[in-house]
Amino acid sequence: MAATGDLGRRIAHHRERLGLTLEQVAERADMSPGYLQYLEEHPGTPTAEAMYRLAGALETSVEDLLGGAVDRPPGRGRARTAPTLQSLDREECLKLIEPGGIGRVAFNGSHGPTVLPVNYELHEGSIIFRTASGGPMDQDLRTGLEGVEIKVGFEVDQIDEAQREGWSVLVQGPAHHIPPDELPEVTVTPWAGGERHLYVRISPQQVTGRRIHNL
C-alpha cells in the first residue's frame, strides 16, 4: 500500500478537485462517511474492492490513489473516440492559470532551446516567479542592453487522466528582472528550494489556449 498518509492525501486531493464533500464521495463509493474521513486522516489498508469503488467515486484509478503513477508522465491512456479541441480566449486563459502553481518557461538559453519548470503566481496581470541570482536562468534572460528584454514562452497545462480531458495555456512576452524596490506582494515559493531571491516578471503580450474535451 501507499506510504503513511499518502493515500489519505491523494483521496482528499481528488475529492477537493471534484468539489465533493465527504458524504458525497462516501455515497458514490458505497462506504460510510466516517470510514472515508478515517482514510483521509490516518494510514489505512482498505480492501481491493473498496479501493476500486473509491477510485471510481473519485474519477481516477487505483494506481493513481496508491501513488503508482507518480514517476510517470501524464496522458499515457488512450484518447476518447471523439475528442473535441476548443480554442480559448485571453480572458478564459488567464482565469485558468490565475490560481498559480507550476508552469514552464521556454527561452533560447546559452546551450540551446531550454524549457524549465517554475512555481509561479499571477499578480496584477503578470506572471511572477523566482530564480537564483547569477544562475543560468538569470544570465540567459539578460540581454545586456538597458531597456531591451528577452521574449519568452510560458506554458501551463492540466490533464484529467480519468476523463481524458485537459487544457493548455501559452503566454508569450518579455521577461523583466524585478529590482528590490519594485518587489510585488506575492508569496510564490519555489519547490526546488535554495537561494532563489531574484524575482522575474513575464508581461503577457500574446495569450492563447486550447481545451480538449468530449461531447
50 backbone dihedrals φ, ψ, rounded to 5°: -65, -40
Give pLDDT, residue 13: 87
Question: For the whole model, what pTM was predicted?
Answer: 0.69
Give pLDDT, residue 201: 93
Is the model's pLDDT at 47 over the cut of 80? yes
73 backbone dihedrals φ, ψ, rounded to 5°: -65, 150
Give pLDDT, residue 17: 83
Residue 20, amino acid: L
H or E element, residue 101: strand 101-109
In angstroms, the first-to-last Cα distance of the chain is 36
Nearest to 105 by CA among 158, 177, 149, 154: 154
Mean pLDDT estimate for the chain: 86
Q: How far is it, in rounded angstroms, from Cα 33 to Cα 41?
A: 12
3-class SS of residue 53: helix
What's the Cα-to-Cα distance from 74 to each of 17, 148, 166, rounded to whole Å?
A: 17, 37, 11
Contact in structure between 121 and 100 (CB atoms under 8 Å): yes
pLDDT-based confidence at residue 3 (cuts at 50, 70, 90):
very low
Higher pLDDT, 63 or 112: 112
What's the Cα-to-Cα distance from 58 to each of 21, 47, 157, 159, rounded to whole Å?
A: 11, 16, 21, 15
Contact in structure between 118 and 104 (CB atoms under 8 Å): yes
**Mean pLDDT to the nearest integer, 27-38:** 93
Is the model's pLDDT at 89 over the cut of 60? yes
Q: How far is it, in rounded angstroms, from Cα 135 to Cα 80?
A: 43
Q: Which class is 83-214 in CATH?
A: mainly beta
Give pLDDT, residue 73: 64
Strand partners, 177: 200
Q: Write down the CATH number for the domain with range 6-65.
A: 1.10.260.40
Measured from the Cβ of residue 49, the count of other Cβ atoms closer than 10 Å reads 9
Give pLDDT, residue 1: 41
Higher pLDDT, 44 or 22: 22
Give pLDDT, residue 104: 96
**Mean pLDDT to the nearest integer, 177-182:** 83
Q: How far is it, in rounded angstroms, from Cα 202 to Cα 1?
A: 42
pLDDT-based confidence at residue 193 (cuts at 50, 70, 90):
confident
**For residue 171, what is its C-alpha cell?**
503566454
Over the stretch 52-79, which tens digit does the pLDDT of each residue have?
Answer: 999 999 988 888 888 766 666 666 666 6
pLDDT-based confidence at residue 4 (cuts at 50, 70, 90):
very low
In the chain, domain spans:
6-65, 83-214
Is the model's pLDDT at 81 over the cut of 50? yes
